[in-house]
Amino acid sequence: KHLILSDTFPPPTCIAGIMSEKLETMSGYLQKQSPKFPFPWQKRFFEVQLKPKPLLLYFVSPGDVAPKGSIRADAIADVTMEARRGKNTRIIISQTNHARKYYLKAATAENCQQWYNTIRQLMEMTESKETDYNNEPQPSGEPVETKENLDAMKAVQKNLIEGLRAASKILRSKGSFQKFAMHMEHQSYFDLGAYAPIFADYFRKVCAFRNPKFEVQLKLDDVSSVDLECLKFEGFLDEAAVTPFSSRVTAEQMETLLSDSCKNTIEKLKVYIREAENVKDNDVVVGLTQITNLFKCIV
């Protein structure tokens, strides 16, 4: 039995204890951020399932037979609320495998609090929150990732590469970026992105390249000098996309490296955005802000 909430999210009622716990079983619409670039918000119908095992299910519509996805209660490591414009309207669900976070958005601060309380109680119902989903002991020595972790890592890697390609496309879109690059005493518009050396270092740490120091070779006869570094980075991404992960990197380490790389890039972009604002170059301000927002979504 569930309390169905409308889009306006009226206060839920509390149903009697199940599995020796009092849990607010509720269902209704929330916005869920897609893990795929450009990370749009999607309207999903969420529902708590208690048996045979506690799950947080989400559907495209409440009448759907099969859910679009699910979040296992025993895989939830933490749930937090995030304020926007002074009110808590977003929920962040972290998983024990460190491979993905779920970002949810409620219609009101009140409803956000209701869902937060429910998800936290759902999480606390489970006693075992092991990283290994099969509940098998991990061997000593090098950490071994589960198939689910590896699949999640691959999805993150794919979305990251798509996002980096989109950022490069923005920089190539207008001649004003090249003009501003020269104003900043750079040779190419691509230097304004600031992300190439940061993420080249990231990929060299997480990918098992045969030669970690390899460089993409292009001839100046074939490309313009201002496009050279951009096209070399594109070639680097092509190689990273087909290279397996290093066995020495865990999903948790990958998440930390990715977060740090995004934050470093955002800080560098701020310098260029401030200068573009000073010289009133709106095209550059808009473009670099779009790239900044892309990395904020990844973080």
Q: Which pLDDT does position 22 carry in this prediction?
A: 46
| CA–CA distance, 96 with 74 (Å, rounded to integer) | 8
162-196 residue pLDDT tens: 999 999 999 988 889 999 999 999 889 998 888 99
As a three-state string, the secondary structure of the chain is CCEECCCCCCCCCCCCCECCECCCCEEEEEEEECCCCCCCEEEEEEEEECCCCCEEEEECCCCCCCCCEEEEHHHEEEEEEEEECCEEEEEEEEECCCCCEEEEECCCHHHHHHHHHHHHHHHHHCCCCCCCCCCCCCCCCCCCCCHHHHHHHHHHHHHHHHHHHHHHHHHHCCHHHHHHHHHCCCCCHHHHHCCHHHHHHHHHHHECCCCCCCCCCCCCCCCCCCCHHHHHHHHHHHHHHCCCECCCCCHHHHHHHHHHHHHHHHHHHHHHHHHHHHCCCHHHHHHHHHHHHHHHHHC
| Nearest CA-CA partner of 89 in 108, 114, 115, 103 | 108
Predicted structure pTM score: 0.55
pLDDT at position 222, please? 61
Average pLDDT per consecutive 10 residues, the chain (299 residues; last block may be shorter): 40 36 70 81 90 86 86 86 78 75 90 90 66 39 57 83 92 90 90 89 87 66 76 89 83 85 92 94 94 84
Instruction: Please name the residues in contact with 154: beta carbons below 8 A apart, sequence gap of 6 or more.
Output: none
Convert the pLDDT of each residue in 55-86 to its tens digit.
Answer: 889 999 988 888 888 888 888 888 898 877 76
Residue-level pLDDT at 129 = 42
The pLDDT score that the predictor gives to residue 1 is: 37
